[in-house]
Structure 1
Amino acid sequence: MRALARYAAKAILWFVGLTLILVIAFKWLPVPVTATMLMDENGFTKDWESLGHIDRNLVAAVIAAEDSRFCQHFGFDAEAIEQAMRENMEAAANGGRIRGGSTISQQTAKNVFLWQGGGFLRKGLEAWFTFWIEAVWGKRRIMEVYLNVAETGIGTYGAEAGAQRYFGHSAARLSADEASRMAAALPSPKKRSVKAPRGWLAAHGNRIQRRIGIVRRDGLDACVYN
């Protein structure tokens, strides 16, 4: 039992140490590749860009679409999780769309360090890495990494690769309409059209575009730029 306890203690120490090494390294270094990219049967295209070379419209759009309280929480938004649970219960009963309650920080932790899919183990590790990136990286770096590793299309990762694919120009000059369409597709980029959205998806993109003004007016992106 003592030997088992020693092995368990060593394993925990190694895990914590490796966690801190990776988190500290990626505070400064571009993330070279993720498990999601490596497991993508379509291969992957990516092009890392600093946040200064990504249009502010996209930052506002993803906050409006994914996590309006990004600048207020420390990685976890209990209010959004409770709301998502209520809406998903209604959706399950009525055959509607299921939505997630993960913050941008949680999505970044999952995309960088873990794999896609559910399960208690993955969710527990996601919470662990979310805590550390909030503590070590800060909001600006979290947003920068998120916009570089998020899947933006089939075999396409990051804002720059997505902008080039869909609009033929750099992510540094995305219009509010273009940014909104990219943000609307983020939850399911393999299925949602960016170039020619229709029906609900087109309306959702229009809602996000209107919310960009609210994000700017209320300073909901202030933590990224101050």
Structure 2
Amino acid sequence: MAKTAKKTKKKNTETWRQRQGKRLRRAILRSVVWGFSLFIFAVLIFTLFNPPTTWTMYSENSRLGRLDHQWVPIEEIAPVMARSVVAAEDANFCDHWGFDVNAIRAAIEDGASRGASTISQQVVKNVYLWQGRSWVRKALETGITPFVEMAWSKRRILEVYLNVAEFDEGVFGIEAASRHYFGVGPEDLSASQAARLATVLPNPKGRSASRPSQSQIRRASSIMDGAATIDRDGRAACFQ
């Protein structure tokens, strides 16, 4: 009898463990499904609606107590501004699906002393993630970017980028930036002004579009040439 009772107890214990294991696996599966569904929703929702804020905007608003930002549709932005940003940050924007392999290879050859992030990657970082360098953030950025490329048009990616990029302390988006630096709306930006704004993007707190350094002036000249080039050779076709 004692032996039978021990067997029954052991069997009941194994059955309980099996049930708990099944419950745990179901809970994990549900979490994965819900997490992936929320992620897909977060990507799709911004094909129709504009991101209300970003982590960087929230952080700067908390720090400064103010924020200069107003969304403007890409139709109300001078085309030369869009071309200048692409020429400055991601000349092959229309030709890749989120990652510029040639730029990555060049960055590796330079010992990672130069950036290789595409505009698509920067949008993902700005809209969904946080600033700073970490393997976790980079891994998430790498995973999310292809989904954004699949769900959003190139024109939409560039529109979001121009509206959430930081151009000065507390100044976000091309509407605020064009008025802050030049006193004009984004639709009236000249090629020179657009190029100068593009030079600010890598270091918005350390550079000024209205009071550019000599290196910025040289860079702006190069960006103007690049913007004209991608317009001629068709590398701007995907967003114009």
Q: What's the TM-score, normalizing by structure 1?
A: 0.91
Shift of 1:2: 4.5
Uncovered stretches (5+) of structure 2, i.e. residues with no partner: 1-20
Query: Paired residue for 2:38?
Result: 18
Corresponding position: 1:50 with 2:70: no
d(CA) in 2 for partners of 1:99, 1:166 = 27
Aligned ranges for residues 156-175 of structure 1 at < 5 Å? 156-175=171-190
Q: Which residue of 2 aligns with 1:223?
A: 238
Aligned positions of 1:1-226 closer than 5 A: 2-40=22-60, 41-42=63-64, 43-88=66-111, 98-225=113-240
Question: What is the SS of the residue equivalent to 1:39?
Answer: helix
Deviation, structure 1 residue 3? 4.3
Please say which structure displays the higher CA radius of gyration. 2
Q: Give 1:8 shift.
A: 2.9
Structure 1 residues 192 and 4 mapped into 2: Cα distance closer, same or farther (>3 Å)? farther
Equivalence for 2:3: none
Q: Which residue of 1 aligns with 2:17?
A: none
1:190: Cα distance to partner? Answer: 0.6
Q: CA deviation at 1:14?
A: 1.9
Q: Which segments of 5 or more consecutive residues in structure 1 lack a partner in the other structure?
A: 90-97
Letter in 1 for 2:136: L
Helix, strand or coil for the counterpart of 1:140? helix
DSSP 3-state at the match of 1:71: helix
Q: Distance in 2 between matches of 1:104 and 1:2?
A: 44
Task: After superposition, give the CA deviation of every residue in 1:106-161 in whole Å (9 maximum; x if it has no partner).
Answer: 00011001100121211111122211111011101101111111111111111111
Q: Matched residues in 1 for 2:167 and 2:160: separation?
A: 13
CA distance, structure 1, for counterparts of residue 23 and residue 140 of structure 2: 26
Tell me, in whole angstroms, the C-alpha distance in 1 between the residues paired with 2:211 and 2:228.
23
Q: CA deviation at 1:5?
A: 3.5
Cα distance per residue 1:51-74 (max 9 Å; x no partner): 100111111101111001100000
SS in 1 for 2:93: coil
Q: Which moved more, 1:75-84 or 1:120-129?
A: 120-129
